[in-house]
Amino acid sequence: MGVPVNDRRPATPRTAIVTGGGGALGSAIGHRLAQDGVTVVLADIDLDAAERAAAEPAPGSGGALLARHVDMADPASVRRLADEAAAELGGINVIVNNAAIQRRGGLRDARAADWDAALAVNLRGPALLCAAAVPYWERQAGGSVVNIASRVWLSGGPPVYVAAKAGLVGLTRSLATELGPLGVTANAVAPGFVPTEFTRAGRDAAELAELAERNRRITPLDRVTEPADVANAVAFLASAQARCITGEILHVCGGAQLAPLPG
């Protein structure tokens, strides 16, 4: 059976931008995409971290890894990233919105500045990056967006972080409907707890181990999600194999998105 005539995405994505690319999760995603032959820009506010991630050996990699700076809270920086990446690489096939900041604490602890910072990086930045890519997707007649959400959009939790991630789910669905006519798919991956520096921040080793154990206990698969699990899901959604999937939220959390059975 031939490829449908209205399937306008390249069979193999050629270029990708992964924000938050200097962290463990962004680095894992970038290296996994590179294995599929994608040239990946690892973009991060910490350029040194992005450069270290890009320099890590990647066995079996068929694509190059580049490091670039971006401040997702700065609209001008976001636009510059898109334009410079497109000019350097000849276009943008995939955007992975992975950059995020965490704001813990309850409603009464959250300051206006906490809300502004989290929404700027976790929600507004991804929207602006996708908007900046639209002219290139129009020219290429296709592309894909994978937003890194979180299981907490279902479960609740620290309101600043949860609201931003729930907003990212809503943005994903809006992008799917608006960008679909351009041949662009938009999906989200919603991980559970992943042991990275992001989740370690502000916790000692004992607290982190206890948090990991609590999360393991609520998963039907009895396991903790690893960066590679998330990276594999992103690679699938960014590939031509997912050409007819859009507007979906793929939970990669061992089944923790399901309400635990009473027992």
DSSP category for residue 123? I
pLDDT of residue 3: 42
Query: Could you tell me which residues come within 8 angstroms of residue 32 by beta carbon, excluding any fewer than 6 positions away?
Result: 228, 231, 232, 234, 235
pLDDT of residue 204: 73
Cα–Cα nearest to 154, from 168, 140, 142, 144: 168
Q: What is the pLDDT of residues 126-158, one digit of tens each?
A: 999 999 999 999 999 999 999 999 988 888 788
pLDDT of residue 101: 92
- The catalytic site residues sit at 161
Structure tokens at 137: 């997707």
Domains recognised in the chain with CATH numbers: 15-252 (3.40.50.720)
Residue ranges of the chain whose pLDDT lies below 70: 1-13, 59, 61, 198, 200-202, 259-263
* Cα Rg, the chain, nearest whole Å: 18
How far lies 104's CA from each of 13, 71, 204, 246, in Å?
Answer: 36, 21, 15, 31
Angle 17-90-168 (CA atoms, 0-180°, nearest 5)? 25
Can you give the pTM of this predicted structure? 0.90
pLDDT of residue 4: 45
pLDDT of residue 66: 97
* Residue pair 73/44 in contact by the 8 Å Cβ criterion: no
Instruction: Tell me the one-letter amino acid at 255.
Output: G
